[in-house]
Amino acid sequence: MLKLIKEVLRVGEATLPYPFEPIEQMPGFRGKPHHDPEQCIACAACAIACPPNALNITTDLDQGFQTWSLFMGRCIYCGRCEEVCPTGAITLSPDFELAVMNKQDLYERADYKLASCRICGTYFAPIKEIEYAAALLRQSGMSADALADTLSLLEVCPECKRKNDVPKMVSLFQKEGSDVQR
Amino acid sequence: MTVLTEEKPKVGGKYIEALRARFGNLILDESWQAPDQVTVTVPLNSLPDVVEMLYYQQGGWLATVVANDERPLNGQFAIYYVLSVEGLGDDSETGGKVYVAVHAQIPPHQPEFPSVTPKVPAAVWYEREVRDMFGLQPVGLPDERRLVLPDDWPDNLHPLRKDSMDYRYRPEPTTEDENYDFINVEGEGIVQVPLGPLHMTSDEPGHFRLYVDGEYIVDADYRLFYVHRGMEKLAESRLNYDQVTFLADRICGICGYAHNVAYSNSVERALGIEVPARAQFIRTILLEVERLHSHLLNLGLACHFVGFDTGFMQFFRVREKAMKMAEMLTGSRKTYGVNLIGGVRRDILKEQRTTTLQLLKELRAQATTLVNMFLETPNIVQRTQNIGRLEPQVARDYSPVGPTLRGSGFARDIRVLHPYCAYDRVPWKVVSKDGCDILSRTLIRAEEFFESVSMVERCLDEMPEGPVLTEGFAYQPYKFALGYVEAPRGEDIHWSMLGDNQKIYRWKCRASSYNNWPALRYMLRGNTISDAPLIVASIDPCYSCTERVTVVDVRKKKATIVPYKEMERYCIERKGSPLK
């Protein structure tokens, strides 16, 4: 018993004064994901990787918007979004004090404009994503001709691309004729 | 089914030879998933005999039972009884240890199979679960009550059948009453007491019914699974392979990482993926860090239940160091979110290594002081010695795991029996005791704590350089294998079969407490009710708040409902029996 009292006295007060004083986090602690809407291209990689569906992407084809949203009520702080983000738009902050008075405050959202197809005019992909792909292509060291060709394809929706592919293939077959076995 | 690893030597093939010698043509097929994992196919009717021979004549322990709806693959249901076969006597030294899965097919037009439970009692919970989840009837099973599904669940809806339901479907309750049949003791007419609603706020509810004669417990029955979360269904319906690791974390609030490693191992083994050595060491370190804080938690609780709350506070103060360690090494106070299939996501850097070693030093010193103090408290030995006895024969019959089993004289620890991660690369020893009581189980945890401290130190010293994640492998449909981890409470066993749509086809996870619960009944018998909370805590069950207890006096045929808080108070103070 004496030993116990001695130990208790030696240790003194172990309880920290938190929340009246800030508490220290270990470096590398994973807290609330921080989203930089400027950096984000709305590619949806994070929403696909997110195990608990905290991150979602919804597409409004009528209005031409893609909406990125995060619901903190579901987040498990795994940081998969940070790992898969191609532009570094999501990073996990050390922020862990997430209590809110109103459930709506747990939601965060950002809207991105969609580009419309050069041929048929339907919305098909976020403008920023297309710009990002174009910037990557410009740096890839392609020849000027090939680059112009590929860049023009970026403005076409997948459906029109498919339709255009058919006449293109046909003309290819006709050109190379004997080489191609049907 | 193909032989994956023909070039590696198979362990324990002699057990299969013995099976063939006894059963001959009844062994229809034999396929090896790993050098120490084999699946043998037998006709449905020989299932009980084959499992019994492996269990009792070849030193087998029941690891898990997996049912699988393989109708989309081959038109049949399948059932796998997985045993860790370890040999008896001299065999156990030389024979090697092997996981044998006894597999049989069940035709959909006659969805029943012969129950193994009359021959091997350890199978009882598994067979009840298979009946609930797959609608496969174990013929001859002595206990036909539901285990997993709620009492108000529709009769013919079996969630894990592939064609039964969407994972988001929530059927209407079929009845207003709670109609679970608790056992009757020895034919005495005992009044069944309908219980009030469960507190939905309590995180892990269970309902105990103790049958008492005066102060002594004659028998016990309990209903659990009030918080079954349907994780297996969720995993096969919505998540991809890597996402399941994060779900596996959340099976348990304490030993989540053990589940995570077990799941990852099962998939890696099914595909034959080589996990880099450094990742193996990191996993070992994190598993042991988990054991550090888990064992300190249980030691703290042991203090609390004997009324030594200062000790409880002190153990939790020291435990905080282990939590800080976890926070630093994994980025989360719980060791969550570190694994992917193929390795880990986070390396251990030099600075972290230094801090960890410093923390370990402090942990060892302070825990030594506390454990000594704990044992010198006169109350402790008096309250725990010879209380809550788990007789070796009961242990043998029910395959309990972890410190619960090791406290009854069996030195079974799968870190040694079936080494995984880096456990065969660092020196350590298995702790076991012969006392069969609460004291033994508590002492084992204390000693294992110090083993873990040394093990983490050794791993940090001997960790090789190199990558921590293997990438660029392709998933192959319908491969399956077993993953296993010795969690702080005993072994966690995961069985995974891969699918053809980037999702798992069947994931069966078995937590350690699942094997310990059925044996608890025998540990409670003959003890006074004031010891009941202490006994329950001594198996360190994966749940904390037994919501309330019904006590039935067999002589007065009177039932009393005692709130759990009251039971706990009585356990601590041992004054003012709630029955009077």
Distances in whole angstroms, Cα of residue B209 to Cα of each of A96, B205, B226, B561, B563:
41, 13, 15, 9, 12
| pLDDT given at position B484 | 96
- Which residues in chain A are contacts of B346 at CB distance < 8 A? 28
User: Are A29 and B337 in contact (CB < 8 Å)?
Assistant: no
Q: Mean pLDDT across the stretch B426-446?
A: 94
Among the partner-chain residues B242, B328, B372, the one whose CB lies closest to the CB of A28 is: B328
- Which residues in chain A are contacts of B246 at CB distance < 8 A? 51-52, 76, 78, 80
CA-based torsion, B234, B235, B237, B239: positive or negative: positive
User: Are B331 and A14 in contact (CB < 8 Å)?
Assistant: no
Residue in chain B lying closest to A78 (CA): B337
Q: Mean pLDDT across the stretch B16-43?
A: 92
Among the partner-chain residues A8, A29, A51, the one whose CB lies closest to the CB of B246 is: A51
ipTM: 0.87
Question: How many CB pairs below 8 A link A and B?
Answer: 55
Residue in chain A lying closest to B331 (CA): A29
- Which residues in chain A are contacts of B327 at CB distance < 8 A? 25-26, 29
Q: Which residues pair with B70 in a beta bridge?
A: B76
| pLDDT given at position B544 | 39
Among the partner-chain residues B247, B324, B327, the one whose CB lies closest to the CB of A51 is: B247
| Shortest alpha-carbon distance between residue B372 and chain A (Å) | 10
Residue A167 Cα to chain centre, angstroms? 36
Q: How many residues does chain A have?
A: 182
Q: Measure the CA angle with vertex B94, ends B91 and B95; round to 5°.
A: 65
Among the partner-chain residues A7, A77, A83, the one whose CB lies closest to the CB of B369 is: A7
Domain A26-176: which topology?
A: Alpha-Beta Plaits (3.30.70)
- Which residues in chain A are contacts of B310 at CB distance < 8 A? 4, 8
Cis status, amide bond into A17, omega within 30 of 0: no
Cβ-count burial of B516 within 10 angstroms (0-12 exposed, 13-18 middle, 19+ buried)? buried
Per the CB < 8 A criterion, the answer to whether B538 and B441 are in contact is: yes
| pLDDT given at position B579 | 65
- Pairing of the two strands B207-213 and B216-223: antiparallel
| Shortest alpha-carbon distance between residue B333 and chain A (Å) | 8
- Which residues in chain B are contacts of A49 at CB distance < 8 A? 243
Is it the case that residue B57 has pLDDT exceeding 80? yes
Which tokens is A68 given? 């990125």
Model confidence at B174, pLDDT cuts 50, 70, 90, reads: confident
Per the CB < 8 A criterion, the answer to whether B339 and B246 are in contact is: no
- Which residues in chain A are contacts of B328 at CB distance < 8 A? 26-28
User: Are B324 and A26 in contact (CB < 8 Å)?
Assistant: yes
Rg of chain B over Cα atoms, rounded to whole angstroms, equals 23
Residue B188 Cα to chain centre, angstroms? 34
Residue B204 Cα to chain centre, angstroms? 16
Among the partner-chain residues A11, A30, A51, the one whose CB lies closest to the CB of B239 is: A51
Residue B416 Cα to chain centre, angstroms? 17
Q: 10 Å Cβ neighbour count for B500? A: 12
| pLDDT given at position B190 | 42
Classified as helix, coil or strand, A89 is coil
Q: Mean pLDDT across the stretch B522-527?
A: 90
Residue in chain A lying closest to B238 (CA): A51
Is it the case that residue B363 has pLDDT exceeding 80? yes
| pLDDT given at position B6 | 46
Q: Which of B169-173, B269-273, B372-376 has the highest mean pLDDT?
A: B269-273
Which residue pairs, CB below 8 angstroms and at least 24 apart, start in B356-359? B356/B325, B356/B328, B356/B329, B356/B456, B356/B460, B357/B457, B357/B460, B359/B321, B359/B322, B359/B324, B359/B325
Cβ-count burial of B196 within 10 angstroms (0-12 exposed, 13-18 middle, 19+ buried)? exposed
Sole residue written with tokens 């065969």: B424
User: Are B337 and A83 in contact (CB < 8 Å)?
Assistant: no
CATH 3.30.460.80 location in chain B: 13-179
| pLDDT given at position A169 | 85
Percentage of chain B modeled with pLDDT above 70: 89
User: Are A76 and B336 in contact (CB < 8 Å)?
Assistant: yes
Comparing CA positions, the residue from B281, B254, B292, B328 lying closest to residue B452 is B292
Comparing CA positions, the residue from B256, B385, B373, B380 lying closest to residue B317 is B373
Q: Mean pLDDT across the stretch A19-40?
A: 92
Residues with Cβ within 8 Å of B565's Cβ and at least 6 positions away in sequence, in order, are: none
Per the CB < 8 A criterion, the answer to whether B241 and B477 are in contact is: no
Q: Measure the CA angle with vertex B161, ends B155 and B166; round to 5°.
A: 85
Per the CB < 8 A criterion, the answer to whether B404 and B442 are in contact is: no
Q: How many residues does chain B have?
A: 580
Domain B231-510: which topology?
A: Cytochrome-c3 Hydrogenase; chain B (1.10.645)
The whole-angstrom separation of Cα A158 and Cα A141 is 25
| pLDDT given at position A3 | 80
- Which residues in chain A are contacts of B311 at CB distance < 8 A? 4
Per the CB < 8 A criterion, the answer to whether A72 and A35 are in contact is: no
CA-based torsion, A159, A165, A167, A168: positive or negative: positive
Model confidence at B182, pLDDT cuts 50, 70, 90, reads: confident
Comparing CA positions, the residue from B287, B279, B264 lying closest to residue B348 is B279
* Superfamily of domain covering B13-179: NADH:ubiquinone oxidoreductase Nqo5 subunit (3.30.460.80)
Domain boundaries, chain A: 26-176
Which tokens is B174 given? 């079929």
- Which residues in chain B are contacts of A92 at CB distance < 8 A? 331
User: Are B332 and A29 in contact (CB < 8 Å)?
Assistant: yes
Classified as helix, coil or strand, B215 is coil
CATH 1.10.645.10 location in chain B: 231-510
Model confidence at A127, pLDDT cuts 50, 70, 90, reads: very high
Percentage of chain A modeled with pLDDT above 90: 67
Classified as helix, coil or strand, B565 is helix
User: Are B314 and A7 in contact (CB < 8 Å)?
Assistant: yes
Q: Return the higher-pLDDT residue of A130 and A166.
A: A130
| pLDDT given at position B194 | 32
- Which residues in chain A are contacts of B317 at CB distance < 8 A? 11, 14
Residue in chain A lying closest to B243 (CA): A51
Is it the case that residue B188 has pLDDT exceeding 70? no
Of A16-30, A70-84, B173-187, least confident by mean pLDDT is B173-187
Q: 10 Å Cβ neighbour count for B104? A: 23
| Shortest alpha-carbon distance between residue B91 and chain A (Å) | 46
| pLDDT given at position B569 | 79
Q: Which residues pair with B494 in a beta bridge?
A: B483, B509
Q: Which of A1, A15, A16, A26 to mutate to test the interface with B (most CBs of B within 10 A)?
A: A26
| Shortest alpha-carbon distance between residue B417 and chain A (Å) | 33
The whole-angstrom separation of Cα B327 and Cα B343 is 19
Comparing CA positions, the residue from B261, B466, B248 lying closest to residue B347 is B466
Q: Which of A1, A48, A78, A96 to mutate to test the interface with B (most CBs of B within 10 A)?
A: A78
In order, the DSSP letters of A4-15 are: HHHHHHHH----
In order, the DSSP letters of B53-82 are: IIIIITTEEEEEEEEEEEHHHHSEEEEEEE
Residue in chain B lying closest to A26 (CA): B328
Q: Which residues pair with B549 in a beta bridge?
A: B208, B562
Q: Mean pLDDT across the stretch B220-235?
A: 84
3-state DSSP of B514-543: HHHHHHHHHHHCCCEHHHHHHHHHHCCCCC
Q: Measure the CA angle with vertex A102, ends A46 and A22; round to 5°.
A: 80
The whole-angstrom separation of Cα B58 and Cα B88 is 6
The whole-angstrom separation of Cα B133 and Cα B232 is 11
Model confidence at B208, pLDDT cuts 50, 70, 90, reads: confident
| Shortest alpha-carbon distance between residue B493 and chain A (Å) | 22
User: Are A76 and B243 in contact (CB < 8 Å)?
Assistant: no
